[in-house]
Amino acid sequence: MTVMNIYNFMSFKAETMLEKEEENIMFDLLDRLYIIALCSANAFIKDEDGAVDLVTIVVLIGIAVVLAVLFRTRIQALLTTLFDTIDKGAEKAVK
């Protein structure tokens, strides 16, 4: 082997080792990101605060709908009176 062939072989070997080291670093980084993603997903699934908040919101909306149905006629009368007053006030403001 000539000196040039030995140099080329050694530089190729060094580049291959660097590429493998970089590849190992990337795989380590991907492994860490995967583990973080799994832990975050598990924490999100096991977190029950969101479920309790959702149930609370659904119950409050249900109560609002029931109250609106029970007091429908009074709400209609209130809105009719309110809009009549606004219309009369607007007519006076235009004149």
Q: Quote the pLDDT of residue 71.
A: 93
Q: Quote the pLDDT of residue 74.
A: 93
User: 69 and 62 in contact (C-beta within 8 Å)?
Assistant: no
pLDDT tens, residue order, the chain (95 aa) = 455 555 555 555 555 666 677 777 878 888 888 888 888 878 777 766 666 778 888 999 999 999 999 999 999 999 999 999 998 887 777 76
The dihedral through the CA atoms of 71, 77, 79, 82 has a sign that is negative
Q: Looking at this protein, which amino acid is placed at residue 85?
A: T
Domain residue ranges in the chain:
1-47, 48-95
All residues at 6 or more sequence positions from 28 whose CB lies less than 8 Å from its CB, including other chains: none
